[in-house]
Amino acid sequence: MPERTIIEPFRIKSVEPIRRTTRAERERLLEAAGHNLFLLESDHILIDLLTDSGTSAMSTEQWAAMMRGDESYAGSPSFTRFRDAVRGIFGFEHVIPTHQGRAAERILFSVMCKKGDFVPNNAHFDTTRANCEYTGAQAIDLPIPEARNPAQIHPFKGNMDVAALEELVTRVGAVHVPLVMLTVTNNSGGGQPVSMANVRAVKAVCSRHQIPLYIDACRFAENAYFIKMREPGYQHRTPKEIAQEMFALADGCTMSAKKDGLANIGGFLCTNDAQLAGQEKDLLILTEGFPTYGGLAGRDLEAIAVGLDEALEEDYLQYRIASVGYLGDHLIKAGVPILQPPGGHAIYLDARAFLPHIPVEQFPGVALANELYLEGGIRSVEIGTLMFGVHAKNELVRLAIPRRVYTQSHIDYVIEILLDVFARRADIRGLSIVSQAPFLRHFSARLKPV
For 179-298, list the strands marked E by DSSP.
180-183, 213-216, 252-256, 267-271
Candidate list 216, 231, 280, 371; residue touching ligand F0G; CB under 6 A: 216
Q: Using the rule CB under 6 A, give the single segment among 6-14, 73-81, 121-129, 132-140 that binds ligand F0G.
A: 121-129
Q: Under rule CB under 6 A, which residues in 232-291 are in contact with ligand F0G?
A: 256, 258, 267
Q: Using the rule CB under 6 A, give the single segment among 25-33, 122-130, 169-177, 199-207 that binds ligand F0G.
A: 122-130
C-alpha of 110 from chain center: 22
Q: Does 53 bind ligand F0G (CB under 6 A)?
A: yes
Provide CB contacts within 8 A for 254, sequence distance 6+.
Answer: 101, 104, 105, 108, 128, 214, 215, 216, 217, 267, 268, 269, 270
Q: How far is the CB of 307 from ligand F0G (least distance, A)?
A: 14
Q: How far is the CB of 102 from ligand F0G (least distance, A)?
A: 3
Q: How far is the CB of 188 from ligand F0G (least distance, A)?
A: 7
Surface-to-core class of residue 14, CB atoms within 10 Å of its CB (0-12 exposed, 13-18 middle, 19+ buried): exposed
Is residue 364 within 8 A of residue 377, CB to CB? The reply is no
- Rounded CA-CA distance 72/79 in Å is 10
C-alpha of 331 from chain center: 22
Candidate list 127, 138, 149, 238; residue touching ligand F0G; CB under 6 A: 127
Q: Under rule CB under 6 A, which residues in 369-428 are in contact with ligand F0G?
A: none
Binding mask 67-106 for ligand F0G (x = CB under 6 A): ---------------------------------xxx----
Q: How many CB atoms lie within 10 A of CB 439?
A: 12
Nearer to ligand F0G, 51 or 56 (CB): 51
Nearer to ligand F0G, 117 or 216 (CB): 216
Q: Using the rule CB under 6 A, give the single segment among 125-133, 165-173, 220-228, 313-321 that binds ligand F0G.
A: 125-133
Q: What residues does 156 pair with on adjacent strands?
A: none
Is residue 258 within 8 A of residue 53, CB to CB? The reply is yes
Q: How far is the CB of 266 from ligand F0G (least distance, A)?
A: 8
- Radius of gyration over every alpha carbon of the chain, rounded to an integer in angstroms: 21
Q: Name the amino acid, one letter, at 392.
A: A
- Rounded CA-CA distance 320/8 in Å is 8
Q: How far is the CB of 257 from ligand F0G (least distance, A)?
A: 8
Candidate list 122, 183, 271, 380; residue touching ligand F0G; CB under 6 A: 183
- Rounded CA-CA distance 294/285 in Å is 8
Is residue 134 within 8 A of residue 444, CB to CB? The reply is no
Q: What is the secondary structure of 148-175 as a DSSP string?
A: G-TT---TTTT-B-HHHHHHHHHHH-GG
Nearer to ligand F0G, 381 or 428 (CB): 381
- Rounded CA-CA distance 339/350 in Å is 6
The residue with its CB nearest to ligand F0G is: 101
Nearer to ligand F0G, 100 or 192 (CB): 100
Candidate list 82, 92, 109, 125; residue touching ligand F0G; CB under 6 A: 125
Candidate list 36, 51, 59, 159; residue touching ligand F0G; CB under 6 A: 51
Q: How far is the CB of 205 from ligand F0G (least distance, A)?
A: 21
Residues that bind ligand F0G (CB under 6 A): 51, 53, 100-102, 125, 127-128, 183, 187, 216, 218, 256, 258, 267
